[in-house]
Structure 1
Amino acid sequence: MQLSIPNGGSIYFDIVSKEGVAIFRIQDEGIGIPMGDRDRLFHSFHRASNVGNISGTGLGLAIVKKSVDLHGGQIYVKAKSESARSLWLKYRLTRNKGRGVRRRSEGKE
């Protein structure tokens, strides 16, 4: 996945485990995702209307979405403004006797 961040902005990555759910948040200082592009955001070959001359194929988020789906998770955009700059991924966690926590998709006991 390619992030488009002009002028060397930052990327922030947080992981939180809360009530049996692992939440991954990826936030950047890039060009953002316009509201009008969000309904097709995870479709193959879709590129946001504001990319201009930034190179890319429109496959990055489609691949991420497929991977998240295969692991039983959720991915979505969370925004405080018109132009989103934050992606959230959620995975339900289960206890694995004697071996810590694992993702639900790793098997059942």
Structure 2
Amino acid sequence: MTASTDLYRAMAALVADLDGQHRRERAAYEQGYRDGHRSGWEIGYGHAHHEMADRWARLATHVRELARTRPYGELDQRRWDGHRADFARPRPTDRQRLRLAAQARRSA
């Protein structure tokens, strides 16, 4: 009968220490939560750092490409075959084109 007495004593000790067990579990949970939060913060900060570096690299590439483009005035002149304000004015070759178009209509 000593085995059952020892069992009862062990059970009584566990029940008596129930509050202590709850405190230890809560402390372990809080420590784990803090550690998880800290490591999550560090991982997230690392990801953000890589994202920002990636965006800055793309921005730097874009700026370098802009620096290699032609000036706006030159692009505008190439687009409008001269100055934009002069685009709608008649050109010397316009009459020749109209004459050729009229000849084509007459011969058809």
Q: TM-score range, shorter-chain basis?
A: under 0.3
TM-score by length of 1: 0.20
Greater percentage in strand: 1
Question: Which of the two has higher C-alpha Rg?
Answer: 2
TM-score by length of 2: 0.21
The higher-RCO structure (CA 8 Å, 6+ apart) is 1
Greater percentage in helix: 2
